[in-house]
Each structure stands twice: as structure tokens, then as C-alpha cells.
Amino acid sequence: MPVLLFVVAIVVFATDQLVKNWVVDTLPEGQTVPVLGDFLQWHFVRNPGAAFSLASGSTWIFTILATVVVCVILWQIRRLGSLLWAAFFGLLLGGVLGNLTDRLTRPPGFPVGHVIDFISTPWMIPAIYNIADIAICTGMALFVLVTLFGLPLDGSPRRKRGEEEPESSDAPAADADPEPETR
């Protein structure tokens, strides 16, 4: 399962960073470039905050939170046994690393760099976002689904309500004869 997690994370991260570099090198900052009319537009902005540019004066807090999220994901890898959970963690890791890389390497500088946002879909949401954001949101939607369906992180079969846990092989069976007492 860790292989899937890392493949998804690498694909998301690499795509995010390559496209952001293209945006910085190619698109005019602050101007809207129609791609599919009003359905899809490029609009290059440097985002110092979170979604919708909230808390723009607290960039360093997002840097710390993103670092904690990366550490938690890396800690959980050892427990993974489910493809869906691996996909979730891969999407989340790739997206968080994409935006964290911006915060660490882009102007105005470490650790308060601005995240490159460029995708605008004004018909859907009044926000400008990037590939990392899409991966994070998709991952969170997957998280909701696997949680609602009760899929364990380790991929073990789900137990039905009222079903008891399997007995340990170390414990004597309930119907076994007790050992005779010796005095």
C-alpha cells in the first residue's frame, strides 16, 4: 500500500510544481485568461493565506500545520493495508507538499512564501486555486467516503454490529475442559 501512496503523492506533487512553474513563467499576474470561456479561466495570483486568501497574515501557521500533516501521514504509513486509504493519504501528501513547497521556496521567502494559485471556475466557486488544492479536496472527499463506509485503515474486513472480535489463539476456548488442580 505504501507504494500506491508514494506514486499518487509524487504524481500530484510533480504535476503541481511543474504547472505552477509554467504559470509563473507564462501567465500575466492578476489578469484573467479565458480557457473555456467563463467555465474555466487562468488567473495567476500569489496567495499568502489559506483558501479564499483567509488569514493572509498567518502564513507561518500554515507552514507549521502542513509540516505536521506531512509527519502524521508518514507516521500512518506503517498501518496502511487499504488501497483507498493509501490513495487518500497520497492525494493529501502530494497536495500538502505542493503548497508547502511554495511556502518554503517562493517569495517573499522561507517560511512565508506565497502559494501560486491560477485555476478559476467562477460559475462553481468564487475562488482561485491550484492542482495541490484539487488533490487535497479530492482526498478529503475520499476520506469522507471511506469513513462513512467504515473501511479500516489496515484494510481488515469490517465486523458487523454485534459481531464479536475473533478470539486470540493464546486464550483457552470457552468449551475446553479446565485443567485439573494439583495440590
Distance CA 183, CA 61 (A): 68
Where do runs of H (alpha helix) occur along 27-159? 59-76, 83-105, 131-148
Rounded to 10 degrees, the C-alpha dihedral 99/105/107/113 comes to: 40
Residues linked to residue 32 through DSSP beta bridges, in sequence order: 43
Distance CA 81, CA 138 (A): 20
Phi/psi of residue 36, each to 5°? -130, 65
Residues 84, 152 contacting (CB under 8 angstroms) = no
Number of H helices, E strands in the chain: 4, 4
As annotated, the active-site residues are 117, 133
